[in-house]
Amino acid sequence: MLELVEEHRCFDGVQRIYRHESETIGLPMRFSVFLPARASSGKVPALFYLAGLTCTEETFPIKAGAQRYAAEHGIALIAPDTSPRGADIPGEKDAWDFGAGAGFYVDATREPWAKRYRMYSYVTQELREVVLKALPVREDRIGIFGHSMGGHGALVLALRNPDLYRSVSAFAPIAAPSRCPWGVKAFSGYLGDDRSAWAQYDASELILGDAAGRFEGGILIDQGLADQFLAEQLHPEVLERNAQKAGHNVTVRRHEGYDHGYFFISTFVGEHVAHHARVLCF
């Protein structure tokens, strides 16, 4: 059962925060929803947004300014939290890049994380079902995008589930997590040392496989060249190279002077919503 935590009028639609008891996580989970005015008279397409390290369900709706563009196109926006909260796992809050606020959109298999840290299944299954059951969203018109850790998540979820997501894009994604400190730390902690398990959550590896989804509008990625994490953590060139090798349509746009934060995202979020709208709104 959904509990409405708060609601605000926004661009003639509504911005909400919901809370529910998650069976997948075994804890309460929160997510934000923007419903455009068109949702008052019928079902609308939807975009799921996955946020980055340390973020919550509130980060995107407060900072990105995407509601204006979603209202214009008649698209709903859904943004879950980035991890379980209150799992009471020792060390869960010791680091900003692992544990609370850093679920990495995987289903953990290593204890003590395996019981609660199941963000992959939560987003692709439970949250999707909750949204479709309770909100005026079209099941056949859903896209996904995200930023940094969430950009990694969006790419992975889309490539593995093209039957669920018709469009995908990302801002400064962790594009090759098996090769960077953030990803190695997260995958080792959540999945153990078997790198074949890591590959199932690495977009640069997935895109080489025959089962990887191909998307009508291609994959759009924006990357700031003043991003402090670009060289060590993000590696869009690996995804770009592997996509070309496998014949996938991936566009990486590089922007001088832009860093890793939400000023960057807010600059280009309208173009991302339009990218999805070309596929979802017809």
State the number of CA atoms in the 13 A half-sphere of 59 facing the CB.
Answer: 19
How large is the average pLDDT for residues 85-109? 97
Residue 282 in this model has a pLDDT that exceeds 90: no
What's 111's DSSP letter? Answer: T
The pLDDT score that the predictor gives to residue 146 is: 98
Asked if 81 is an active-site residue, the reply is no
Per DSSP, which regions of 11-135 are E strands?
Answer: 13-21, 28-35, 44-50, 76-80
Domain range for 97 is: 2-281
- From 22, 83, 148, 204, the catalytic residue: 148
Closest by CA to 53, choosing from 83, 17, 90, is 83
pLDDT for 74: 98
Q: What is the pLDDT of residue 99?
A: 97
Q: Quickly tell me which residue has 């991936």 as its tokens.
A: 250
The whole-number pLDDT of residue 98 equals 98
What pLDDT, in 10s, does the model give residues 171-218?
999 999 999 999 999 999 999 999 999 999 999 999 999 888 899 899
Q: Point out the catalytic residue in the list 227, 235, 272, 276.
A: 227
- Structural domains counted in the chain: 1
Annotated active-site residue in 152, 260, 275, 276? 260
- For residue 223, what are the β-bridge partners? 254
pTM: 0.98
- What's the mean pLDDT when you consider all of the chain? 97
Q: What's the CA gap between 248 and 218, in Å, rounded?
A: 7
Active site residue 227: yes
Q: What is the dihedral of CA 129, 131, 135, 138, to 10 degrees?
A: -70
Share of the chain above pLDDT 70, in %: 100
**Average of per-residue pLDDT across 15-40:** 98
b/e for 244-254, b at 16 or more Cβ within 10 A? Answer: eeeebebebee
Q: What is the CATH number of the domain that holds 270?
A: 3.40.50.1820
Task: Name the pLDDT band for 93 (thresholds 50, 70, 90).
Answer: very high
Q: If you count them, how many residues does the chain have? A: 282
What is the band of 1 on the pLDDT scale with cuts at 50, 70, 90?
Answer: confident
* Residue 183 vs residues 10, 110, 186, 196: alpha-carbon distances, Å: 36, 15, 5, 14
Looking at residue 123, what is its pLDDT?
98
